[in-house]
Structure 1
Amino acid sequence: MVGLSPGAIERMHAAARAIRDGDPAGAQRMLHSVLGESPDHPEAMRLLAVLHLRSRRPDLARELLLRAIARSPGDAMLHNDLASARMACGEEQAAFDDWRRACELAPGEPMPWFNLGRNLQAHGMGAEALAPLQRACELAPELLPATILLGDALLHLGRIDEAAVRYRAALKVDPACGDAWRGLANLRTRRLESADIETMQAQLRRPELRDPDRVAIGYTLGRALEDQGDFAAAFSALRDANALLRQRAPWSARAFLDYVDAALDASASLPEPLDPGLGAEAIFIVGLPRSGSTLFEQVLAAHPDVEGGSELPDLGVILQRESQRRGVPYPRWIRSASAADWQRLGREYMDATARWRRHRPRFTDKMPENWKHAGILRAMLPGATVLEVRRDPMETAWSCYRQQFMQLPHFACDFDDIAVYLRGCERAMDAWRARDPERIALFRYEDFVAAQEASTRALLARCSLAFDPACLAFHRAGRGVRTASAAQVREPLRSDTARSGRYGPLLDPLRDALARA
């Protein structure tokens, strides 16, 4: 605040409160007033940049922060916020450089360390994320997001017991921390104790418990009760959690069905690709969550020629960016895209995913929702392999219902919605596979479990990969796994993963919904 008048300092504090409380107009008015008196004050520019970031205008934030840094190059928080702006602008390497610079300038400040670790983790660099996240936790043990994220990073790297220690450390600070309970639930191979169940039940009885924590604890309680064989109580806990989540973020079955119809119609006729081999390095694994796709990716990632990329956002981001450029929502612009347009978009995807080919020539993209775009890949990435993974519909549906998904609204909170989504996915993929049988293959989870080696050989052959025995010992692969199955794929293949039958008639409404859809 050096150099500001007392009135300007008061307006700065008020602007910060306005940003926090969701009053962007008030914050902007006060910050412009301060900058009217002191046009180049670095902290005023930083706060205005934060406001631009919150308002999804990262380019304006970046320019302001660059101006502020020119006046105050040693300010760590300016570099920290510039990194956030650059990441939002797609300048990944520059963003990481700025976070590292902020850590150098203020090694005792936890937020740059946290942001560096958080973004390394988000970009699939879990091993590199550990040190900055550990540093953030050392500097600020009460910073629960850092503790939780460190637990997630350890889990994704297969260090299950260390992850559990971090989640429990968060619960010591706050027994109602839903993210910590979610983390413990995702360990899967480590059962929760009776004392944990009592603690969760006590937290759920608190009327002041925040809804996000109530939802997360409800899902975890359901899993814990199921492990103890109390299926009626488990069903009740899961039903309550799903109902609350659906109330907070309703999912529209009608909008989804309209999308499927539009995508099938728009992709019926596509131009011949200019470069039929474009994207040959990519292996897409698509389908519903909880269908076994992580297992198939782990098998492929055990191959010396394949890097497991996990759930990559790049395809959806590129298509969304093209929609914004055209001013027309996807999939309405598909018919107007030329072969040159598709080649440009395919090259953008290959450029965006280049980091996954630094050490191995092929890579996987396991974003489940990429099935929604499978119909255009024969034009955009004609050389790519597309693998659809399906599991028994009842097991898939119930597994989705038991899993808390962070992307909202989500189809998995209601039996009828799950059935609509599952059948819509099957209908679309069946149609696209009929149009493009050479590139889109169907694999079934149950077939793989019943005949692991034969299925592994067929999977590798479909991807034009030579058989390698390492793929049979997929659970020993040292890669990071950033999905809810991170703990399960660290173990040898199991044949006893079916769960829905244990609930008997409690799940008849779900069986009926699948039969109707």
Structure 2
Amino acid sequence: MQLTEKALFNIVVTSLDKQDFKKAIAACRQLNSEFPDYFEGWYIAGEIHRKFNKPKAGLFSTEHALAIRPGEPRVTLQRIECLIAEEMVDQARQLLLQLAQSNLQNPQIHPDILDRTAIILATENLHEEALKQYQKALSLEPNIPALHYNLATALRFLGKLSEAEQSLDKCLALNPFDFEAQAMRSSLRKQTQESNHTDVLESVLADKKLPDQGKVNIAYALAKENDDLDNFELSFRYLKQGATARRSQMSYDVQADLKINQGISRCYQKSIFEDLNSEKSSGHDSYEPIFIIGLPRTGTTLVERILSSHTDVFAAGELDNFSRKLSEIVLQQSSASKLSTEQLVESSRTINFEELGLRYLSSTRPATGHTKHFIDKLPFNYLYAGVIHLALPKAKIINITRHPMAACYAIYKQLFRDVYPYSYDLNDLAQYYIAYHQLIKHWKKVMPGVMYDLSYESVVADISTETKALLNYCELPWQEQCLRFYDNKDASTTASASQIRQPIYRGSLNRWRRYSQQLQPLQNILEQAGICCD
């Protein structure tokens, strides 16, 4: 007896729930073959393609589903994700904006669709549009804590910090154990004796219902608030507690990162840069990109805001495009399906650097290309500084520096999301800083005069002089609004999203000295490596 479309669909769903993927795929193929006009069959096929990262197949299934139900929002979201995965960015963005507008006009729209749409909008740096989706979702379902948190995130990115705090207050009134919301609320402003959350945070931390990851977030929040209140000993105690707990959750060996840095230095010697004008190494001649490199929490966002306040400059954000395109080209020219990091570094020396530069530029479109320059502010592009110069010899590379101890303390006290694993242990942090320092020295040696060093301390001390020199290096005419970077309305998604909405803040320059005793082991390691920490 032939199974009905609903029976086959139920087999697919049940098999997926049991993780019997072979059976689910076979049933799904039968379903769509025998009942090609059954919408749910193509929809569930799209979910399978999404789960197994098959975007090309996903485009096929979503095309059939949308032919049956044009504009259906769940499938439209599937299709947008597939288009993004296939780097069909123009089509993805057009469809995304159409969906966002349709959502706002649809009285029957489900809050989950609005939430998912907003998340993709934010990923595509369309934060104002994301904000509208969250606001509509909350108008439909005002008692979902996660929606208040997501709204607060969007508001924070857009510099609407008071509104963000109000949204977090609502989120935490519904769920005081939302530890990410607690941590974000603490970060939005400097806490005062009259207005802080230390009592609430301590109560939540002591509650046995708080999960292990929550203990990390709350400890960091308490460290931040107590630092604001000048409770330095208590602040560092919480900071160490949170960092140690976070480090215990990770399988990370700093030696692996050190080997990568050493391998880069070994592979990229001066000779390859002396051959820059050869046919293979000529690079792409665009002057459009401005790369800001260094370590996180060292002033990279401040410099980005100063530069992007110029009418000829667009802040594209922290892009991983360069490293992705580099890996893509290396793998394409290799017969192996997968290479170790060391092999990738070694093989990268023989690629066509002009092609790399062109692919990188193309991958940043359509977000870029509408101004004379754009900024790529991914700090650990410092690893690729030499490759960037080979691929894009006319691009500007700005290396942000900061006092070693101030930089390390700023990194140590920041709870990052899934990046910078070296930041949770003082020994790891010291070793990584030394490796960074040595690689920057290497780049300066093999390609002298290419990178522009800019000290965070110098910018804070004399923003006018340093901004004029920076614009001169970037070959940009003077514009007064660069000094008023805090009036820049563009979204910022970095850890400094709150700070860059204020004028230059000098209080953090020597803040690390309040913790000099606790940071002494780190300082000893740096000084033994010849790094001055005076």
The yes-or-no answer on 1:424 pairing with 2:435 is yes
Unaligned residue ranges in structure 2 (runs of 5+): 530-534
Amino acid at match of 1:230: N
2:296 to 259, 284, 289: 289
Question: Which stretch of the first structure deviates more once superposed, 29-38 or 262-271?
Answer: 29-38
How far 1:397 moved relative to its partner? 0.8
How far 1:277 moved relative to its partner? 6.3
How far 1:148 moved relative to its partner? 2.5
Question: Which stretch of the first structure deviates more once superposed, 224-233 or 338-347?
Answer: 338-347
Amino acid at match of 2:493: R
Preserved CA contact (<8 Å) 1:46 1:68: yes
1:59 to 48, 56, 71: 56
Amino acid at match of 1:136: A
The yes-or-no answer on 1:151 pairing with 2:152 is yes
Preserved CA contact (<8 Å) 1:31 1:44: no
SS in 1 for 2:453: strand
How far 1:13 moved relative to its partner? 4.1
SS in 2 for 1:449: helix
The yes-or-no answer on 1:257 pairing with 2:268 is no
Work out the CA distance in 1 between the residues paired with 2:247 and 2:267.
31
SS in 2 for 1:113: helix
SS in 2 for 1:478: coil
1:415 to 401, 410, 426: 426
How far 1:360 moved relative to its partner? 2.3
Specify the alignment match of 1:449 in structure 2. 460
Specify the alignment match of 1:464 in structure 2. 475
**CA 1:245/1:193 → structure 2, altered by over 3 Å: closer, same or farther?**
farther
**CA 1:449/1:60 → structure 2, altered by over 3 Å: closer, same or farther?**
same
The yes-or-no answer on 1:397 pairing with 2:404 is no
Amino acid at match of 2:182: W
Work out the CA distance in 1 between the residues paired with 2:309 and 2:382.
23
How far 1:194 moved relative to its partner? 6.5
Work out the CA distance in 1 between the residues paired with 2:344 and 2:320.
20
Unaligned residue ranges in structure 1 (runs of 5+): none
1:36 to 30, 40, 63: 30
How far 1:247 moved relative to its partner? 1.7
Amino acid at match of 1:503: Y
Work out the CA distance in 2 between the residues paired with 1:102 and 1:356.
19
Amino acid at match of 2:428: D
The yes-or-no answer on 1:500 pairing with 2:494 is no
**CA 1:466/1:42 → structure 2, altered by over 3 Å: closer, same or farther?**
same
Specify the alignment match of 1:73 in structure 2. 70
Work out the CA distance in 2 between the residues paired with 1:102 and 1:452.
43
Work out the CA distance in 2 between the residues paired with 1:230 and 1:282.
43
Amino acid at match of 1:514: L
**CA 1:471/1:72 → structure 2, altered by over 3 Å: closer, same or farther?**
closer
The TM-score with structure 2 as length reference comes to 0.87
Preserved CA contact (<8 Å) 2:284 2:358: no
How far 1:94 moved relative to its partner? 2.4
SS in 1 for 2:318: coil
SS in 2 for 1:505: coil
Specify the alignment match of 1:84 in structure 2. 81
Specify the alignment match of 1:203 in structure 2. 204
State the percentage of identical aligned residues.
24
SS in 2 for 1:299: helix
Q: Deviations over 1:312-350 (max 9, x none)?
A: 222122123234433434563456558872111101111
**CA 1:336/1:249 → structure 2, altered by over 3 Å: closer, same or farther?**
closer
Work out the CA distance in 2 between the residues paired with 1:276 and 1:83.
33
Specify the alignment match of 2:532 in structure 1. none
Q: Deviations over 1:42-74 (max 9, x none)?
A: 323333432332333322333222233334435
SS in 1 for 2:177: coil
**CA 1:329/1:141 → structure 2, altered by over 3 Å: closer, same or farther?**
farther
Q: Deviations over 1:194-226 (max 9, x none)?
A: 762222222222333233332222211110122
Preserved CA contact (<8 Å) 1:100 1:116: no
Specify the alignment match of 2:118 in structure 1. 117
SS in 1 for 2:209: coil
Q: Deviations over 1:12-65 (max 9, x none)?
A: 4424534xxxx3xx1442352354355344323333432332333322333222
Q: Deviations over 1:156-187 (max 9, x none)?
A: 22211111112222212211112212322331
**CA 1:96/1:281 → structure 2, altered by over 3 Å: closer, same or farther?**
closer
Preserved CA contact (<8 Å) 1:388 1:442: yes
SS in 2 for 1:280: coil
How far 1:439 moved relative to its partner? 2.2
**CA 1:88/1:153 → structure 2, altered by over 3 Å: closer, same or farther?**
same
Work out the CA distance in 2 between the residues paired with 1:142 and 1:212.
24
The yes-or-no answer on 1:17 pairing with 2:17 is yes
Alignment of 1:282-321 (within 5 A): 282-321=289-328
Q: How many residues matched?
A: 509
Preserved CA contact (<8 Å) 1:216 1:241: yes
Q: Deviations over 1:350-387 (max 9, x none)?
A: 12224454542111111111111112112111111111
Question: Which stretch of the first structure deviates more once superposed, 428-437 or 393-402?
Answer: 428-437
Alignment of 1:290-439 (within 5 A): 290-325=297-332, 326=334, 327=337, 328-330=339-341, 332-333=343-344, 336=347, 341-408=352-419, 410-439=421-450
The yes-or-no answer on 1:478 pairing with 2:472 is no
Specify the alignment match of 1:136 in structure 2. 137
Amino acid at match of 1:36: Q
Specify the alignment match of 1:165 in structure 2. 166
SS in 2 for 1:272: coil
